[in-house]
Amino acid sequence: MSSTETLILVLYFFVLSILAIYGWHRYYLVYLYMKNKDKVPAALPPLPLQTLPPVTVQLPIFNEMYVADRLIGAVCELDYPRELLEIQVLDDSTDETSEIAELAVRRYAAKGFDIKFLHRVDRTGYKAGALEAGLQQASGDFIAIFDADFIPPADFLMRTLPHFATDPKIGMVQARWGHINQDYSLLTKIQAILLDAHFVLEHGSRNRAGCFFNFNGTAGIWRREVIPDAGGWQHDTLTEDLDLSYRAQLRGWHFVFLPDLVAPAEVPVEMNSFKSQQHRWAKGSVQTCMKLLPMILRSNQPLGVKVEAFFHLSANFNYLLMSLLSILMFPSMYVRYSMGWTEMMLIDIPLFAAATLSFCNFYMVSQRELYPDWKTRLKYLPFLMSIGIGLCVNNTRAVIEAIFHKQSEFARTPKYGIERDSDEWVGKRYHQSVGVQPMIEFALGLYFTATVFYALANGIYGTLPFMMLFQIGFLYTGLLSIFQQFTGENVMLKSPEVAK
């Protein structure tokens, strides 16, 4: 075996081993979740009316013309005394959204609501800057935050505030995201499953085990004094919520996650919007990792908290490894076939299994915890893995930009007010441009198509299912991005149920 062939195999198995370690970490999260099931925060009775604190609800919006009015209306339906409720519409918009939002504010102000329209012409700090500017004028002792695509339940404040009364060190309470349009398409169904696992298992396991978890930027409420104590909203990362969360917990504040309190929201219906959102989250988390992980590791936190923080904040670096693995798949297969396939399979298959079976288990458990019909949702797991793989080009770019400190603006995710299967997004504004990235994804899809044919031609069946996940993932993400940009909605968008 030549030195080049040796290098290919060493790199291949090194990358696969690291991915397997992170795969096994998913098993650990499920273990923590099951072990601490008795520690789920109990539902508390509402606070007596005479003890209710003043609350400010902040609504940061930027070019959200299709959902701004819906958001403001839903917040004004909150079950809370009007004399204790302040609503801030923090508008950075540069289009008709400002007129729509200001008109809604005037309408509800005329009905007696303490609601203010705060418009910035300078978008310094993006969402973090808007929240900080609003905080300077806020009157509430607690700050609730909702993004434009959310529809908060009327009892949100009455169910979250009692938890602050149980412990003066409770700094933030986070609700679980719901999905008002999860059945719209295959893409929205996949996103719903991804988010379900993030909240139920990641937040659930970390919170119950006493580890750090994060505010998700919306559908949460803060004790006001926590924000300045932790250093305030900072905009040197694209995930200001994750950044502030870790700084606050390092200061000794505790967070609570309420899995049974659901705040419905709209997930992106367009692949390019989904990619834009994932790019921002991946880049921001790596920025936060580079900013805060050294501080966390030097802190006096328990070892378990430090280890979990490491896995949490470093997880997106795996997209670099996934991209490298994608390139190495065919060369390593060719080398191993020429030297004897059977022996190498003894290493290859277990590592792939560790990386993928843990993934399936992770998402299966999250669906089982939430839905009585969870077994019917298992058919989406192969698509879930494929789309996760297909995102690696998009998110690898995000990771590289973060590593090399490339600055980019906070690109908010377009929302189209999609609530029903019959609603359309085609023809509406805010579409994301595709650039050259989908062509790279499509090329990788063709590359794996050739790899699949090579495996079939040579009777190499052991890793064929894994290679097909890569093939489908890259073709789906690449082609759907192109089709939706240039031809509008396509049958590939629809889920099996909706496409009938």
Name which residue leads in pLDDT, 300 or 333: 300
Q: What share of the chain is helix, strand, coil (3-state, %, to 5)?
A: 60, 10, 30
Q: How confident is the model at residue 40 (pLDDT cuts 50, 70, 90)?
A: very high
Rg, Å, the chain Cα set: 23
Q: Of 17-31, 245-259, 285-299, 451-465, where does mean pLDDT reach its minimum?
A: 451-465
Q: Out of 91, 92, 149, 348, which one is annotated catalytic?
A: 92
Catalytic residue flag (residue 155): no
Residues 6+ apart with CB under 8 A from 317: 286, 289, 399
Q: What is the pLDDT of residue 458?
A: 85
Residues 464 and 333 sit within 8 Å (Cβ to Cβ): no
pLDDT digits (tens, 9 = 90+) for 252-296: 999 999 999 999 999 998 999 999 999 999 999 999 999 999 999
Q: What is the pLDDT of residue 279?
A: 95
Helical residues (DSSP H) of 173-222, grouped into ranges: 186-197, 204-208
Q: Out of 147, 241, 243, 348, which one is annotated catalytic?
A: 241
Q: Which residue, 219, 217, 281, is CA-closest to 244?
A: 217
pLDDT digits (tens, 9 = 90+) for 483-498: 887 765 433 344 444 4
The region that residue 424 occupies, defined by phi over 0 for left and psi between -120 and 50 for alpha, beta otherwise, is: beta
Where do the domains of the chain lie?
3-33+316-499, 54-315
Average pLDDT, the chain: 91
Does the pLDDT at position 416 exceed 80? no
Q: What is the pLDDT of residue 492?
A: 39
| E strands in 34-169 | 55-61, 85-91, 114-119, 142-145
Q: What is the pLDDT of residue 344?
A: 56
Concatenated DSSP letters for 212-278?
Answer: -----SSSEEEETTHHHHTT----SSS-HHHHHHHHHHHTT-EEEEEEEEEEEEPPP-SHHHHHHHH
Q: Write out the CATH class of domain 54-315.
A: alpha beta
Q: What is the pLDDT of residue 348?
A: 67
Q: What is the pLDDT of residue 335?
A: 83
Catalytic residue flag (residue 95): no
Phi then psi for residue 265, to 5 deg, are -150, 170
User: Can you tell me the mean pLDDT for 370-393?
Assistant: 94
Q: What is the pLDDT of residue 341?
A: 57
What percent of the chain has a predicted confidence (pLDDT) above 70? Answer: 90
